[in-house]
Structure 1
Amino acid sequence: MNPLTKIAQVTGLATTDSVIEHTMAAEQISLQRVDEAAAVPRPESVSKTWVENEYDQLEAEQGPLWAAAGIEASRPAELAAAGLMRAAEGADHLAAGHEQVVDAARDRYLTTTEALSPFRRRAHGGKALHVCAKGALVLGDAVGVTLLGINIGDYPVLAGLMSISAATAAVISGLIGSEIRVLRDTRRRQFDIGLLTDTQKRFMHLFSGTDKGAKVIKAVVGVSTAAGLLIASAIFAGRAELEGAMTGLIYGGIAAAVAAGSFLESYAYADEIADQIDNAEHAYEKELARHQRLAGAGTLRDQAKRLAEAESIVREHDQRGEAAMKRIRSLMYGILRRSPGVVGHGAASEPPIGRINRAGGPQ
């Protein structure tokens, strides 16, 4: 039975009693003015009336009654949380284990930034400009090759695909400029090992001033140069055959300029120090995003919401039970107040301990 219904049956009060109702009832109570105030204490021969015992039991009933109601009301949320327990434990284990990965990525980022930031040359945000420049070079070169393919009788689709391939090859041939810039910067950063800080010694290869792959880079430069020349020569030959040598020279020169422009852009963009810092930052941000996904897993969120709901319901019923107990006690006092002829106007006061009467003895 609902506790409020039980109180209503015992007291005859409506279950919608509120502060306003109690306020209105209190306004009806007045204290009459008399010449002399007199109150009769409770008879010492009656320690407790039956009605007081009855209402003591009713008061004691409210706590367990409301607690049971709280358990009943919170049972669906607790069952739902229990059903999510295994999945939530697994998600929590993954999130807790991933904290070490996040910490390691953060330490790497902080260490890399502390050691290398003084030597960074490329500004933040340069990557977007780099990508845009390469895309513009590929697009511009592809247009010229596509027109050439169409003019010599190729299908437009095939000519377009071939042009993209050729333009990409021309731009990639210019990427070797970044390797040459890295080699130059490495030699320029050559340091006495003893002058490096402890964090910088972790990146000693960036300050050694030597690169054992210089011969390989020279070979790659030769291949890249040959690729650019072959593409420019092919465009020159095709245009010269169809439209004359001057037109072939113009379009061939443009193709060669695309490869050269890609080389120069790569040379200007290359910064091994900035790459190290940006890669560490990207790795840290990636692990942070992954950890947020793990920590915010749906099972963890749903279980937490269910547990919070169950706890809130139990607390609410506990408070209602405490309020009901006080209400029952106040009703009992009301009965006693209306029965002064039986129980007096109040409990008899006890004399202060150690009080001495006029006769000199203890009272």
Structure 2
Amino acid sequence: MTLLRRQFLQLTVGASLTPILSTVASAEAYPARPVRVIVPYAPGGPADILGRLTAQKLSEHLGKQFYIENIGGAGGNLGMAQGARAAPDGYTVLVVPPNIIVNPAMYDTVPYDPYRDFEPVTIAVTSPTVLTVHPSLAVQTVKDLVALIKSNPAKYSFASPGTGTPPHLIGEHFRLRLGLDLVHVPFNSAGLAVGSTLAGHTPIAFTSLPPAVPQIKEAKLRALAVTSKLRSSAIPDVPSMGEVGYPEIEGEGWFAFIVPTGTPKDVTTQLHREIVKIIALPDIKETLATLGFAPVGNTPDEAAALFRTEGVKWAKVIREAGIKAP
């Protein structure tokens, strides 16, 4: 082979490999600097806890710091607005509950569009809602409770962690679908809602699992059903609504990781892969279970589809119940 031909081949092969090598180098370069993880709520809540657990592992796995920035206020709208305005470069990630798709139906205006401004990475976990009652109520099943409420109009109320939260919306769905005269009493957290039911002030409660489980196990509250499709491993003796004859009363909280629209596809793919790997780790799964979370880790397309179906479902409940943001 002549020297000229050898040089030509080297140049040709080198040129053909350059785009491939550049792509690989680009993918390997992420993250090249710290990544902000916005939690649109105050520290200490479930979104914050999940965000911190995941951010710590992402930092370990990817070699750059993933740090939490809590931006609370307006039911999550302030933090989500900042996320929507962030550069779509992979250096802003958000951890959000269903409020991302519920708030537009509940507030007159919101400073973001959940479908145009964001792209889901994954629904990381779900958090079942549990229907509990004070032990003084002479009911053992959901059917008993429905009969009691119907025979005593305007007498009973239910507690929730707050207006627009998944437990509140599920409680309203329960009220509307079964035609019950039941008053909603919102609190600022699931813990406060559970406390009110423990004291007998609001004899019925729809709440997330974590603050209710210890009280259920100590028989201080009676759990009638969980509103997820399946029973919860945290309280395996408690049936689902479907099992007790009310399959239409279904819903649960969830927490998703999302990024601003336009974030590079390879970055979203990498984040998805790592987050799914993290929530499957034995120690993380154990921690999540104690918090009442069940790991999911679905695909971005599956998460996007859930956003839309949940948005339609809960907007209908919000309209029918006349719910407005406080």
TM tier, smaller:
under 0.3
| Larger RCO (CA under 8 A, 6+ residues apart) | 1
TM-score normalised by the chain length of structure 1:
0.16
TM-score normalised by the chain length of structure 2:
0.18
* Structure with the greater alpha carbon radius of gyration: 1
**Structure with greater proportional helix content:** 1
